Amino acid sequence: MSDTMKAGAPARPTGAPGFGRRGPGMGGPGMGGPMMLPGAKAKNLKGTMRRLAASFGGQKGIIIAAWGIAAASTVFAIVGPKLLGRATTTLFEGAMAAMTGSGGIDTAAISRILLFALGLYVTSALLSYLQGWIMSGIAVDTAYRFRREIAEKMNRMPLRYFDGTNHGDTLSRITNDVDLLAQSLSQSLSQLITSLATVVGVLVMMLSISWRLTLVAFVVMPLSLVFVTAVVKKSQKLFTAQQRHLAEVNSHVEEMYGGHVVMKVFGGENRSAAAFRERNDLLYKAAWKAQFLSGLMMPMMGFIGNLGYVAIAVLGGYYATKRTLAVGDIQAFMQYMRNFTQPMSQIANISNVLQQTAAAAERVFEFLDEDEETQETAEAADATLVRGHVEFDHVRFGYSPDKIIIKDLSAYADRGHKIAIVGPTGAGKTTMVKLLMRFYDLDAGRILVDGIDARQFRRKDLRKCFGMVLQDTWLFSGTIMENIRYGRPEASDEEVVAAAKTAHADHFIRAQPEGYATLINEEANNLSQGQKQLLTIARAVIADPKMLILDEATSSVDTRTELLIQKAMDNLMANRTSFIIAHRLSTIKNADLILVMKDGDIVEQGRHEELLAKCGFYAEIYASQFDASGAVETACAS
Range 116-123 average pLDDT: 88
Other CB atoms within a 10 A radius of the CB of residue 505 amount to 28
Task: Evaluate whether 26 touches 36 at the Cβ level (below 8 Å).
Answer: no
- 5-14, 176-185, 296-305: least confident range: 5-14
Q: pLDDT: is 574 or 156 the higher one?
A: 156
Angle subtended at Cα 337 by Cα 334 and Cα 343, rounded to the nearest 5 degrees? 150
Band of pLDDT at residue 10, cut at 50, 70 and 90:
very low
pLDDT the model gives residue 102 = 73
Task: Kindly indicate the confidence band of residue 19, based on its pLDDT and cuts at 50, 70 and 90.
Answer: very low
Q: Over range 529-550, report the average pLDDT.
A: 85
pLDDT 10s digits, 599-622: 878 888 888 888 888 888 888 888
Nearest to 210 by CA among 76, 62, 318, 115: 318
Looking at residue 207, what is its pLDDT?
A: 86
| Phi, psi torsion values for 514, nearest 5 degrees | -110, 10
**How would residue 18 be classed by pLDDT, with cut points 50, 70 and 90?**
very low
Answer yes or no: pTM beyond 0.75.
Answer: no
* Pick among 3.40.50.300, 3.30.429.10, 3.40.50.150, 3.40.50.1000: CATH of 473-544: 3.40.50.300
Per-residue pLDDT, 493: 92
Q: Which of 629, 623, 625 is nearest to 611 (CA)?
A: 623
pLDDT over threshold 90, residue 371: no
Do 66 and 135 touch, CB atoms closer than 8 A? yes
How does residue 516 score in pLDDT terms, banded at 50, 70 and 90? very high
**In terms of Cα–Cα distance, which of 304, 284, 286 is closest to 296?**
304
First-last CA distance in the chain: 61
pLDDT tier at 162 (50, 70, 90 boundaries)? Answer: confident
Give the strands of the sheet with 577-581, arranged side by side: 466-469, 547-551, 577-581, 418-422, 593-598, 601-606
**Residue 290 identity:** A
Residues of the chain with CATH 3.40.50.300: 381-465+547-558+574-638, 473-544
User: Cβ contacts of residue 320 below 8 Å, gap of 6+?
Assistant: 326, 327, 330
pLDDT of residue 126: 92
Q: Tell me the H-state helices in 369-474.
A: 429-436, 459-464
Q: Which CATH architecture has domain 381-465+547-558+574-638?
A: 3-Layer(aba) Sandwich (3.40)
Per-residue confidence (pLDDT) for residue 495, from 0 to 100: 92
SS3 call for 43? coil
Which residue type, as a one-letter code, is found at position 295?
G
What's the pLDDT score for residue 481? Answer: 92
Tens-place pLDDT, residues 63-93: 888 888 888 888 888 888 888 888 887 787 7
Mean pLDDT of the 304-314 span: 79
Q: Residue 470 above 70 pLDDT?
A: yes
For residues 584 and 387, the model is more confident at 387
Superfamily, domain 45-368: ABC transporter type 1, transmembrane domain (1.20.1560.10)
Query: Do the beta carbons of residue 187 and residue 131 sit within 8 Å?
Result: no
What is the arithmetic mean of pLDDT over 236-263? Answer: 76
User: pLDDT tens digit string along 120-153?
Assistant: 889 888 988 888 888 888 888 888 888 888 888 8
- Residue 466 and residue 547 in contact, taking contact as beta carbons nearer than 8 Å: yes
At 424-462, the pLDDT tens digits run 877 778 888 888 888 888 889 999 998 888 888 888 888
What was the pLDDT predicted at 484? 92
CA atoms of 294 and 299, how far apart (whole Å): 10
User: What is the pLDDT, as a whole number, of residue 496?
Assistant: 92
Query: For 194-245, how does the pLDDT look when each residue is reduced to its tens digit (9 = 90+)?
Result: 888 888 888 888 888 888 888 887 777 677 777 777 777 777 677 777 767 8
pLDDT of residue 15: 37
* Arithmetic mean of pLDDT, 319-345: 78
CATH 1.20.1560.10 residue ranges in the chain?
A: 45-368
Q: CA nearest 238: which of 164, 198, 293, 316? A: 293
> Residue 414: which of 438, 442, 387 has the closest Cα?
387
Q: What's the pLDDT score for residue 40? A: 52
Where residue 585 falls among pLDDT bands split at 50, 70, 90?
Answer: confident
- According to the model, what pLDDT value does residue 524 have? 61
Mean pLDDT of the chain: 78
Phi/psi of residue 148, nearest 5 degrees: -65, -45
Q: What is the dihedral of CA 16, 17, 19, 20, to 10 degrees?
A: -90
Write down the pLDDT at residue 523.
63
Q: Which of 228, 443, 250, 252 has its CA nearest to residue 340?
A: 228
CA neighbor of 537 nearest in space, from 561, 515, 513? 561
Does the pLDDT of residue 633 top 50, yes or no? yes
